[in-house]
């Protein structure tokens, strides 16, 4: 019973002989395609990652107004003799992801604007230590002057690159321990990011109506943990008995998980949520937007009010842009010494901030606004001494520290 | 502790998490019933997600995003079908390689065209009447169109597989392709549309993921959901309605992580345990689900006698 | 009664090496188009990849290290695949091996001599990986549970376990990895100034051992027989269940060893995101080598060049390294399309 359009035996045999045609045909097409592509390719510019930044046209609603996101086109295939100071900036995200990496890139862009001899290459989406070693050394061997690694987990790769290329300056995010030694061309830097979280916490305590604030965190290591703990501590500076809950959501980027976690926190009573992750923050914003009541979100690293003015209470600006610009300019000016350690905190990094937006200020009383500004001033002057993760017991980098440390002991109230 | 708000949130989260998996699993059920084991679900979901994000950002339309995902799924599905069916390449390997390919492709396209932007999302739909049912209504009010689409698709796939001629023939192609051929069916022509349907549905699952979170695309955002769909299909023994149930179970198990964080008594259990739990449960369930053997000819490229 | 459909004689008349070149040409063509569309020069890209992988001793060292790891993950895929057991859990088995290496490297006394510590940790990783790999194998043998689903799910479980060890058990403080393993448990680096460690020797030795087992032992014969035709082999006295478990044990051991190589050789600690999909890539390596343990070495070198070289794409040609991933995937798919890689299946499936 032939229901299908029957194939005769001859057709079967013809099908069998098809393979003889196919390979030759494929070979011919491939050859033509290759020749065409090679010819066309030679006339195209060899571009750098700057092309990537240029072809994205961020729509007005999503670009933060105060930040520059376009990078001037740089040509790294020419090693301009001596004059040009070339930097490879390595980070886990992209130059325009409105988060951690974006903040670093903005500093680089500012450095380039202010100093025509500086050129920075954006090396994106690197999370694997081997890839960092390979990429870093690739740039180092192309004659780059500074390899700036804005990724906390790459200490070992930094050592490797520095040892392999003694003439290249390698700077890595890391807080070295007492007595630790490292290569002369390796520089470490640390940024007291949690200072901004402290400020945001103080503001959160004033804004929260339920008296319950929360934090959603990426992974539990001290450099990250200090952020939610400082948030809690800052809130307790204003309201000592504030309720604080937190979750480690074990991801930097999964917006679905972040949204679900936010919904759970809201159900638990929180109405201010700090984002101590990376681009997963967009899930948190979505969760806040879909909530029944008013829920506020505090994104980190980047000026984010324009993402959702009705739900962004403040942005925890960690001063990354300032740090980025400072390090690059110091490197270009030859000011970074041997085995240097550069420490940024609220006292020397003016960018560290948790800005008070107008719509939020209008919700607060004049006294509260004054109190907030007073706290900010004291943090910047050092009068309120927020510990870092190497001092104190428990250190601010330990889970629960924010609840254990007495606010009065650091200068609050 | 277990406040009403928390329990409600638990179910809201569970249902939200299950939608992409349901869609992908439904498609996979169609493919596997016809004899094709498509492991490339993960890649297909990414492609659908990207297409939706692209439309959402450039055209600000969720509807166009959904259509774009279906279209992209069909196009790449045709490519996969060509590989699986026409060329008879090994299905598992092709699927795995397709995942890598799609991950790379969407990542590259994302950094070229979409970086740093977010598009449209679908918010909860309030259905009059149902919305006023206590508890159930509150949970459903938070769910978007995609949930109802998923439910409709489940019924659709059930109907397709069990009540249409195509379903009958396709299942024959999956169980006993030789017998089917000698009975006059064209196994290859039956499997082709099955793979395309599977791909379109998987892409739709990716679309649901984007529309439920932030409207933006994050490289690799499916985070293993495509593989989970594979497990769900086996657990549900390829029955569409059971797929929904098992996917819900998986979603709820995933949601336990967030519930636990709110319960002080459970604070000492490491988060990683909750994260791993859904996968462990799937393994155990697969082991103990009786009679969960694949359609006999699944995974084996069909070659005509004498060819 | 089942008969092999794909006989030893190729249906197509063009020899294998020609078809391999065809697949290569096709891949290059497709990549050229993609690269050109992205505004870069395909020839520059090719040059960047080759230089990035082999241009100087440092880069060669990188490539050699990755080659060693890929050989092992490929073996972890190739051996089960030969029996048509789809082990896609290589990634997870590698992770478990890495966890074992990281933990043992910290816990075992650092005062032991290198000669004792290094093998102890290596063996520990092998055992851990083997046991983890045996889980899907045993579930398949005992319950006929789909090894695809079980091994896949176990990948995620392993990742969670690694996260737990990194962040809760042996955290380092500032960074997303564990404390460093004792110096004496690190793999020795015989060549001054290069990152090459003895891991490559271990990998090559493993490939040779695998080849020997597959070719010249009864176990190897059983594995191949099962892969060719399951029902008949059961009739001929091969104990499928036992062979299944042994196969997965071996695969897990190799993958675990790969994890150890990463921890003891490259990173000197267990760090997050250490695996970079090398487990899955191993599957591609195995396929391109047509599951032959000795050819796997060459295939691994090829993939390593692509992987390491593509990390220089940005410095050399202004492209994201992701392009390299697409190249790899396209190449494998084209190899299958041109039937360079193919599997043997019994024609009749009516026999259960």
pLDDT digits (tens, 9 = 90+) for A109-164: 999 999 999 999 988 878 778 788 888 888 888 889 999 999 887 888 898 899 88
Sign of CA dihedral A58, A64, A70, A71: negative
**Chains in contact with A, where contact requires at least 3 CB pairs less than 8 Å apart:** B, C
User: How many residue pairs from chains A and B have C-beta atoms closer than 8 A?
Assistant: 138
C-alpha triplet A108, A110, A112: angle, nearest 5°: 70
**B294/C139 touch (CB, cutoff 8 Å), yes or no:** no
Bridge-partner residues for A297, per DSSP? Answer: A273, A312
Q: In a 10 Å sphere around its CB, with 0-12 CB exposed, 13-18 middle and 19+ buried, how is residue A335 labelled?
A: exposed
- Give A-chain residues touching B307 at CB under 8 angstroms: 12, 15-16
pLDDT of A60 above 60: no
Selected for mutation to probe chain B from C6, C230, C349 (highest B CB count within 10 Å) is C349
| Mode of pairing for the β-strands spanning A272-276 and A118-123 | unpaired
> What is residue C187's DSSP assignment?
P
Residue to substitute from A47, A94, A134, interface C, most C β-carbons within 10 A: A134
Band of residue B292 on the pLDDT scale cut at 50, 70, 90: low
Q: Are C160 and C289 in contact (CB under 8 A)?
A: no
Task: Return all residues near A254 (Cβ < 8 A) that are at least 6 apart.
Answer: A280, A283, B218, B221, B223
Cβ neighbours of residue B237 under 8 Å, at least 6 residues apart? B289, B291, B292
Interchain pair C314, A44: CB under 8 A: no
Cα angle A184, A134, C65 (rounded to 5 degrees) comes to 105
Quick: pLDDT tens for B206-257: 999 888 877 778 777 887 788 888 888 888 888 899 999 999 998 898 888 8
β-pairing, A169-173 vs A146-149, is parallel
Which residues on A lie below 8 Å from B144 (Cβ)? none
Q: Which chains touch C (3 or more CB pairs under 8 A)?
A: A, B
Give me the pLDDT at residue B122, please. Answer: 65
- If you measure CA to CA, which chain C residue comes closest to B273? C160
Across the interface, of C6, C283, C323, the residue whose CB is closest to B96 is C283
Cβ separation C337–B87 shorter than 8 A: yes
What does the pLDDT read at residue A387? 84
Measure in Å the smallest separation between the Cα of A138 and chain C Cα atoms: 5
**Residue A247: Cβ within 10 Å count:** 24
pLDDT score of A43 more than 60:
no
Cα separation, A86 vs C119, in Å, equals 44
| B248, C100 Cβ separation under 8 angstroms | no
Which pLDDT score is estimated for A323?
93
**Residue-level pLDDT at A69:** 33
The count of C-alpha atoms lying within 13 angstroms of the C-alpha of C151, restricted to the half-sphere facing its C-beta, is 31
* Strand, helix or coil for residue A118: strand
Instruction: With beta carbons under 8 A apart, name residues in chain C contacting B273.
Output: 160, 164
CB C347 within 8 A of CB C3: yes
Identify whether the C-beta of residue C139 lies closer than 8 Å to the C-beta of residue C295: no
Residue with tokens 């989970």: B228
Decide if B100 contacts C336 (C-beta within 8 A): no
A226 token code pair:
């200090």
Contact A380, A388 (CB under 8 A): no
The residue-averaged pLDDT of A221-237 equals 89
Largest CA distance in chain C: 63
pLDDT higher than threshold 70 for residue A275: yes
Residue A33: closest C-alpha in chain C: C29
Main-chain dihedrals φ then ψ at residue A211, nearest 5 degrees: 70, 15
Judge: C350–B179 Cβ closer than 8 Å, yes or no: yes
What would the pLDDT profile of A331-370 be if each residue is shown by its tens digit?
Answer: 999 888 889 999 998 888 888 889 999 888 888 999 999 9
- The Cα of B292 is separated from the nearest Cα of chain A by a number of Å equal to 30
| Beta-carbon contacts below 8 Å between B and C | 153
Chain A residues within 8 A of B275 when measuring between CB atoms: 250
Q: Output the DSSP codes for chain B.
A: ---HHHHHHHHHHHHHHHHHHHHHHHHHHHHHHTT----THHHHHHHHHHHHHHHHHHT--HHHHHHHHHHHHHHHHHHHHIIIIIS---HHHHHHHHHHHHHHHHHHHIIIIITT-----------TTGGGSTTHHHHHHT--HHHHHHHHHHHHHHHHHHHSHHHHHHHHHHH-HHHHHHTT--HHHHHHHHHHHHHHHHHHHHHHHHHHTTS---TTTTTTHHHHHHHHHHHTTT-HHHHHHHHHHHHHHHHHHHHHHH-GGGTTS-HHHHHHHHHHHHHHHHHHSTT-PPPTTTTS----TT-
Residues of chain C with pLDDT under 70: 1-14, 172-177, 179-180, 184-185, 191-194, 229-235, 273, 276, 316-322, 339-352
Burial class, C47, CB count within 10 angstroms (exposed 0-12 / middle 13-18 / buried 19+): middle
Predicted pLDDT of residue B119: 62
Tell me if chain A has a CB within 8 Å of the CB of C98.
no
Q: Residue A205 belongs to what H/E stretch?
A: helix A194-207
Check if B105 contacts C (Cβ < 8 Å): yes
A12–B304 CB contact, under 8 Å: yes
Residues from chain A contacting residue C29 (CB–CB below 8 Å): 29-31, 33-34, 37
* Touching subunits for chain B (3+ Cβ pairs under 8 A): A, C
- As a whole number of angstroms, the distance between CA A400 and CA B268 comes to 12
Cβ count within 10 A of residue C198? 17
Q: What pLDDT shows up at residue A25? A: 45
CA distance A72 to chain C (A): 14
User: How distant is the Cα of A293 from the closest Cα of chain B, in angstroms?
Assistant: 13
- Omega before residue B134 within 30° of 0, cis: no
Residue B131's pLDDT band (cuts 50, 70, 90): low
The per-residue pLDDT for range A303-332, each reduced to its tens digit, is 888 888 899 999 999 999 999 999 999 999
Which of A3, A4, A244 would best serve as a mutation to test chain B binding (most B beta carbons within 10 A)?
Answer: A4
Mutation choice for C interface testing from A40, A41, A121, A257 by most C CBs within 10 A: A41
Tell me the pLDDT of chain A averaged across its residues: 78
Alpha-carbon distance C297 to C87, whole Å? 19
- Asked if C172 is an interface residue toward chain A (Cβ–Cβ < 8 A), one would say yes
Q: Say what the pLDDT of residue C6 is.
A: 39
Segment 37-56 of chain C within 8 Å of chain A by CB: 39-44, 52, 55-56
Q: Write down the pLDDT at residue B306.
A: 40
A257 token code pair: 């998980």
Strands (E), A222-369: 243-248, 272-276, 296-298, 341-344
**pTM for the whole structure:** 0.79
> C182 near C170, Cβ under 8 Å?
no
Of the candidates A55, A256, A263, which has its C-beta nearest B112's C-beta?
A: A55
Contact B100 C328 (CB under 8 A): yes
Residue of chain B nearest C339, judged by CA positions:
B89
Per CB-CB distance under 8 Å, the chain A contacts of C52 are 134, 138
Positive or negative, the CA dihedral A174, A180, A186, A187 is positive
Q: Which residue has the higher pLDDT, A77 or C245?
A: C245
Give the number of C-alpha atoms closer than 13 A to the C-alpha of residue B260, restricted to the C-beta side: 19
Q: Does C173 touch chain A (CB under 8 A)?
A: yes
Query: Is C259 within 8 Å of C94 (Cβ atoms)?
Result: yes
SS3 C177: strand
* CB within 8 Å: A4 and B275: no
A290 contacts B213? CB cut-off 8 A? no
Contacts of B39 in chain C (CB under 8 A): 88, 148
Closest-approach residue (CA) in chain A for C32: A37
Distance from C-alpha of B181 to C-alpha of A296, rounded to nearest angstrom? 63
Instruction: Decide if A201 contacts A233 (C-beta within 8 A).
Output: yes
User: What is the nearest CA distance from B130 to chain C, expressed in angstroms?
Assistant: 37
- Tokens representing A93 are 């995200």
- Among candidates A19, A44, A134 on the partner chain, residue whose Cβ is nearest the Cβ of C12: A19
Residue A27 pLDDT: 46
| Shortest Cα–Cα distance, A182 to chain B (Å) | 34
Closest-CA distance, C233 to chain B, in angstroms, reads 18
- What is the pLDDT at residue C33? 80
Which residue, B183, B21, B165, B53, is CA-closest to B120? B53
Query: What are A357-407's pLDDT values in tens digits?
Result: 988 888 899 999 999 999 999 998 888 888 887 777 778 888 888 888 888
Distances (CA, A) of A237 to A191, A240, A241, A386: 22, 6, 10, 11
Contact (CB<8Å) B220/A56: no
Residue in B227, B231, B287 closest to C139 by CB? B287
Q: CA-CA distance, C329 to A211, in Å (whole number)?
A: 52
Which chain C residues contact residue A53 at CB under 8 A?
none
Find the closest chain A residue to C309 by CA distance.
A134
pLDDT at A108: 94
Cβ pair C149:B286 closer than 8 A: yes
Min Cα distance C40 → chain A (Å) is 5
């Amino acid at each position: 019973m032939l229901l299908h359009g029957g194939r005769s035996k001859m057709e079967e045999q013809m099908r069998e002989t098809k393979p003889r045609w196919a390979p030759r045909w494929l070979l011919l097409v491939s050859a033509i395609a290759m020749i065409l592509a090679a010819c066309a390719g030679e006339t195209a510019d060899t571009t750098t990652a700057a092309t990537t930044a240029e072809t994205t046209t961020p729509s007005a609603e999503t670009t933060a107004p105060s930040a520059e996101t376009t990078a001037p086109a740089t040509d790294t295939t020419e090693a301009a003799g001596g004059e040009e100071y070339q930097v490879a900036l390595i980070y886990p995200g992209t130059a325009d992801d409105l988060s951690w990496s974006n903040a670093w890139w903005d500093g680089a862009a500012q450095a380039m604007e202010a100093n025509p001899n500086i050129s920075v290459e954006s090396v994106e989406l690197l999370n694997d230590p081997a890839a960092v070693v390979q990429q870093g050394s690739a740039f180092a061997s192309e004659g780059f002057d500074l390899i700036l690694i804005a990724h906390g987990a790459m200490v070992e790769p930094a050592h490797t690159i520095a040892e392999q290329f003694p003439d290249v300056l390698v700077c890595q995010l890391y807080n070295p321990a007492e007595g630790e030694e490292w290569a002369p061309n390796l520089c470490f830097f640390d940024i007291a990011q949690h200072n901004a979280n402290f400020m945001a916490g103080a503001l959160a305590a004033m804004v929260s109506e339920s008296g319950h604030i929360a934090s959603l965190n990426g992974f539990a290591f001290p450099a990250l943990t200090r952020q939610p703990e400082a948030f809690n501590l800052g809130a307790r500076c204003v309201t000592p008995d504030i309720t604080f809950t937190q979750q480690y959501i074990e991801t930097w980027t999964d917006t679905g998980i972040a949204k679900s976690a936010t919904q759970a926190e809201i159900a638990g009573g929180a109405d201010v949520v700090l984002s101590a992750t990376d681009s997963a923050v967009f899930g948190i914003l979505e969760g806040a937007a879909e909530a029944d009541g008013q829920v506020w979100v505090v994104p980190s690293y980047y000026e984010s009010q324009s993402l959702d003015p009705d739900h962004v209470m403040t942005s925890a600006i960690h001063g990354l842009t300032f740090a980025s610009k400072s390090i690059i300019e110091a490197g270009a000016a030859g000011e970074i010494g041997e085995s240097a350690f550069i420490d940024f905190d609220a006292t020397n990094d003016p960018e560290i901030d948790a800005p008070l937006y107008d719509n939020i200020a209008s919700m607060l009383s004049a006294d509260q606004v004054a109190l907030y500004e007073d706290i900010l001033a004291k943090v910047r002057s050092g009068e309120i001494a927020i510990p870092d993760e190497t001092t104190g017991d428990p250190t601010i980098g330990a889970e629960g520290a924010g609840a254990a440390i007495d606010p009065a002991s650091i200068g609050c109230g | 502790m277990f406040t009403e708000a928390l329990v409600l949130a638990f179910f809201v989260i569970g249902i939200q998490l299950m939608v992409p998996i349901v869609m992908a699993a439904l498609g996979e059920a169609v493919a596997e019933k016809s004899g094709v084991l498509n492991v490339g679900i993960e890649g297909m979901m990414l492609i659908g997600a990207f297409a939706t994000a692209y439309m959402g950002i450039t055209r600000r339309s969720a509807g166009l995003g959904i259509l774009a995902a279906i279209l992209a799924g069909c196009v790449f599905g045709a490519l996969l079908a060509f590989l699986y069916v026409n060329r008879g390449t090994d299905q598992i390997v092709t699927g795995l390689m397709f995942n890598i390919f799609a991950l790379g492709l969407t990542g590259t396209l994302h950094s070229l065209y979409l970086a740093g932007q977010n598009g449209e999302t679908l918010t909860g739909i309030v259905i009059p009447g149902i919305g006023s049912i206590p508890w159930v209504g509150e949970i459903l009010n938070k769910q978007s169109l995609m949930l109802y689409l998923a439910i409709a698709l489940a019924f659709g796939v059930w109907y397709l597989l069990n009540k249409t001629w195509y379903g009958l023939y396709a299942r024959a192609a999956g169980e006993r392709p030789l017998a089917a051929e000698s009975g006059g069916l064209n196994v290859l022509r039956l499997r082709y549309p099955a793979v395309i349907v599977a791909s379109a549905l998987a892409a739709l699952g990716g679309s649901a993921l984007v529309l439920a979170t932030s409207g933006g695309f994050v490289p690799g955002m499916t985070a293993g959901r495509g593989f989970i769909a594979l497990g769900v299909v086996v657990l549900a023994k390829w029955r569409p309605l059971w797929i929904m149930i098992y996917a819900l179970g998986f979603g709820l198990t995933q949601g336990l992580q967030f519930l636990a964080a709110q319960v002080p008594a459970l604070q000492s259990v490491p988060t990683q345990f909750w994260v791993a739990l859904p996968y462990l449960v799937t393994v155990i369930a697969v082991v103990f689900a009786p009679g969960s053997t694949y359609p006999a000819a699944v995974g084996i490229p069909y070659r005509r006698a004498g060819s | 009664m089942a008969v092999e459909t794909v006989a030893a004689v190729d249906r197509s008349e063009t020899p294998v090496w020609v078809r391999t070149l065809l697949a290569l040409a096709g891949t290059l063509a497709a990549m050229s188009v993609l690269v050109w569309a992205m505004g870069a020069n395909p020839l520059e890209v090719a040059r960047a990849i080759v230089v990035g992988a082999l241009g100087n001793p440092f880069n060669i060292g990188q490539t050699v290290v990755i080659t060693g790891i890929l050989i092992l993950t490929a073996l972890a895929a190739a051996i089960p695949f030969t029996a048509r057991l789809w082990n896609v859990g290589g990634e997870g088995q590698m992770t478990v091996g890495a966890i074992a290496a990281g933990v043992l490297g910290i816990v075992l006394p650092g005062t032991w001599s290198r000669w004792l510590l290094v093998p102890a940790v290596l063996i520990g990783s092998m055992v851990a990986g083997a046991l983890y790999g045996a889980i899907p194998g045993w579930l398949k043998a005992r319950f006929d549970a789909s090894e695809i689903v079980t091994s896949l799910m176990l990948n995620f479980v392993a990742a969670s376990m690694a996260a737990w060890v990194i962040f809760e058990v042996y955290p380092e403080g500032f960074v997303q990895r564990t404390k460093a393993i004792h110096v004496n448990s690190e793999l020795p680096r015989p060549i001054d100034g290069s990152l090459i460690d003895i891991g490559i020797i271990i990998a090559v030795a493993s490939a040779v051992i695998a080849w020997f087992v597959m070719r010249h032992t009864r176990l190897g014969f059983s594995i191949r027989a099962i892969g060719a035709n399951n029902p008949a082999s059961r009739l001929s006295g091969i104990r499928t269940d036992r062979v299944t478990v042994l196969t997965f044990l071996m695969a897990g051991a190799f993958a675990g060893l790969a994890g150890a190589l990463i921890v003891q050789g490259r990173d000197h600690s267990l760090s997050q995101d250490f695996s970079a999909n090398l487990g899955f890539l191993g599957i591609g390596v195995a396929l391109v080598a047509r599951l032959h343990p000795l050819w796997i070495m060459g295939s691994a070198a090829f993939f390593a060049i692509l992987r390491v070289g593509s990390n220089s794409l940005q410095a050399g040609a202004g492209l994201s390294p992701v392009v390299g991933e697409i190249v790899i995937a396209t190449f494998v798919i084209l190899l299958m399309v041109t039937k360079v890689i193919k599997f043997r299946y019994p024609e009749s499936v009516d026999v259960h």
